[in-house]
Amino acid sequence: MDSYIEITVLPDLEADASFLMNNLFSKLHAVLGQVTMGQVGVSFPHYAQSGKNLGTKLRIHGSKAMLEKLMAQNWLKGLRDYCNCSAVLPVPSFAKQRYFARRQQKSAHNKRQRSVSKGWLTQDGALEKISDESQKPLKLPFIQLTSRGNNQQMRVFVEQGPLVEQPVHGSFNSYGLSRLSEKVTVPWF
């Protein structure tokens, strides 16, 4: 990954930073899976470890050719007045590496269904042993998206990995995030 694009959302009285970041990320997600074939990753320079804030900046990492191909899709349509987008820039030579991965948590409802379907518990036993209160919420920043399949709101929790010296190569999911099992890195500077 030798290049990146930095997009800064510009909140105003009508649209706050998280609303704009959610919309920006939704549009990016829609095009990433179709165009980049897992070759483009994202990072959040203002990622907040405590709280649920991803900040106002999104970096998109990849090869210069792949980033130019991505930006040729005009996926920022409707958001150009609300964000500042850099040109494709070279990654600084001093950059370290870090992964950003999607962290998922199964709901209590899904855990109960699985326990019953596997025969581990009865329906009543599952309700008794797996309560909604037993679920510990993730304390990670997230993007709020609307599912294209069922139009329901969903949260994509983002985990930031530690700084490392050497890149970990692999492919990214359609959110531009690494799988936790692979910890594929992007440049961090």
Confidence of residue 136 (pLDDT cuts 50, 70, 90): low
* pTM, two decimal places: 0.84
Q: Are 57 and 45 in contact (CB under 8 A)?
A: yes
Per-residue pLDDT at 128 = 75
Q: Reduce the DSSP state of residue 160 to 3 states and report it.
A: strand
**pLDDT > 80? residue 126:** no
Q: Which residue has the higher pLDDT, 11 or 130?
A: 11
Per-residue pLDDT at 127 = 73
Cβ count near 101 (within 10 Å): 21
Per-residue pLDDT at 185 = 98
Q: All domains of the chain, ordered by start, with CATH?
A: 3-103+139-188 (3.30.70.2540)
Q: pLDDT (tens digit, 9 = 90+) per residue, 53-78?
A: 899 999 999 999 999 999 999 999 99
Please state whether 78 falls in left (phi above 0), alpha (psi between -120 and 50) or beta: left
- Which residue in 65, 71, 47, 22 sits closest to 175, CA to CA? 22
**pLDDT > 80? residue 125:** no
**Mean of pLDDT over the chain:** 89
Q: pLDDT (tens digit, 9 = 90+) per residue, 12-33?
A: 888 899 999 999 999 999 999 8
Q: How far is CA 33 from CA 21, 36, 40, 153, 180, in A?
A: 19, 6, 10, 20, 18
Beta-strand runs (E) in 86-180 = 89-90, 96-103, 142-146, 153-160
